Amino acid sequence: MLEIFEKIVDLMLVVAAACLVHALHYNAMPAVTDAECFLVAQWCMLTLLVFAPLGIYRLWPGQSLYRLISLMTLGWVMVVVLGFGFVLALHRDSEISRLWMTQTAFTSYGLLLVGKLLVYGVRRHLHRRSKVQRSVVIVGAESYGRAVLAQMQAVEQAGFKPIYVFDGSAGASGMGDSVSGVPVLTDFQELRRRVRAREVDEIWLALSHERTIQRIVREFRHDFVNLRFLPDVRSMALFNRSVTEVLGMPVINLAASPLSNPQLWPKFLFDRLFALAILIAMLPLFIGLGIAVKLSSPGPVLFRQKRKGIDGREFEIFKFRTMKVHGEKPGIVLQASRNDSRITKVGAFLRRTSLDELPQFLNVLFGQMSVVGPRPHAIEHDDFYKELIDDYMYRYRIRPGITGWAQVNGYRGETRKVEKMETRVKFDLFYIQNWTFWFDIKIIFITLVKGFVGRNAF
């Protein structure tokens, strides 16, 4: 409900800023032109489309003020640029005063930022006032119950306090030993007494014994205590362990796309704008490198190879050709190695500097790849490694990238040992599990600083 209210207020602030600037600009309140109304309408629509995926409406009080201001600034810049882009595309820019548009953009940003800071302050104030921890009994003293307890103790600010661990299999003596400083209850009657005495706010079921779960649900169904079931899916789920609803039924995602399309919208937009900018800015370099490749040895300028993209869909990846034209046995792809006789002199330079990867910005522009993501491997290598490395194919739940978290950490180039590929996959999965827009920016920055030249690339 609060998120809907925030969105309505944001729209009102953008409209208010436009009206205020219009009144001050003309020293009166003449009728607003159709073109100005169109631009403001575009900004309002884009505010809703851009702010939500960036997570601006989901900021909780524990997050930093710097993060709020950064996301607001990025979001509004995207809104302004896209909105004016629509105006240019429809050739209506001549009907809009540049001064009015600039003043409206800055005024809207100021009002939106002030509004967000007020909401942020109110949330922090309410959070401090309502920071009353709820007492929790964790049912299950086995490994998963202990893991739940450890997580609860690690995030005290979440507002949950473990007061007991219930282990019915330990006997009926009432109290047992402690787990991580939390006393263990072993008698079901004692648990029931403490619940009825209002000592317990919540019971978390961190076990898989169906009879125990049914007993607790049946026993406390009339008591005002929250019952939460935490199924242990650690060995099955890789990421996106979330609960959703399908056909009116509760569903736990065990293996699903880690991010929804709305969440990836900023990444989708950034990829294409960044790729277009690179292709335009580096066009002379592209031409020069293409000529050098052509003169280095007979054959095409671009090397094309089938790779897997998002959800396993195949596409042709583009690279500058770095090897002499040669034939390979069907189903076998030999990776380039040090002092490989197949690599041309120009190709060796392109590989060391990663300039052979530049044509992949065309793949990004076509929507087949992202600027940042797990590197796509040859299909033959996918078929080989997926049987040796757990969760290998989960890398393709998102679009592959030109650079990635594994590459900036030194895992690029030849991977003859399975252990090296396994480590690379772990970096890729960490990226998928922890993706944010700013994580992408960080990886791009690291790539620009140190990622172009690598000792493992040859």
pLDDT at residue number 292:
92
Closest CA relative to residue 39, chosen from 71, 9, 17? 17
Domain spans of the chain, in order of start? 2-129, 134-232, 261-451
50 within 8 A of 78, measured Cβ to Cβ: yes
pLDDT at residue number 437:
82
Q: What number of helices (H) and strands (E) belong to the chain?
A: 15, 12
Architecture of domain 134-232: 3-Layer(aba) Sandwich (3.40)
pLDDT at residue number 157:
65
pLDDT tens, the chain, 458 aa long: 567 778 888 889 988 888 888 777 766 555 567 777 888 888 888 888 888 777 777 665 556 677 778 888 888 988 888 888 877 877 777 777 788 888 889 999 999 989 888 887 777 766 665 556 789 999 987 888 888 998 888 877 667 889 999 987 765 555 557 888 899 998 889 999 999 988 999 999 988 788 888 899 899 988 888 898 888 876 665 555 566 667 777 777 766 666 666 667 778 888 988 899 899 988 999 999 999 998 888 889 998 989 999 888 899 999 999 888 766 555 555 555 556 677 888 888 888 888 888 999 999 999 999 999 999 988 888 888 888 887 888 888 889 999 999 988 887 766 667 888 889 999 998 898 888 888 898 899 888 877 555 555 54
Q: Are strands 182-185 and 175-179 parallel, antiparallel or unpaired?
A: antiparallel
List strand residue ranges (DSSP E) for 155-225, in order. Answer: 160-166, 175-179, 182-185, 202-205
pLDDT at residue number 288:
92
Tell me the pTM: 0.56
The DSSP annotation for 227-248 comes to EEE----TTT--S---EEEETT
pLDDT at residue number 458:
43
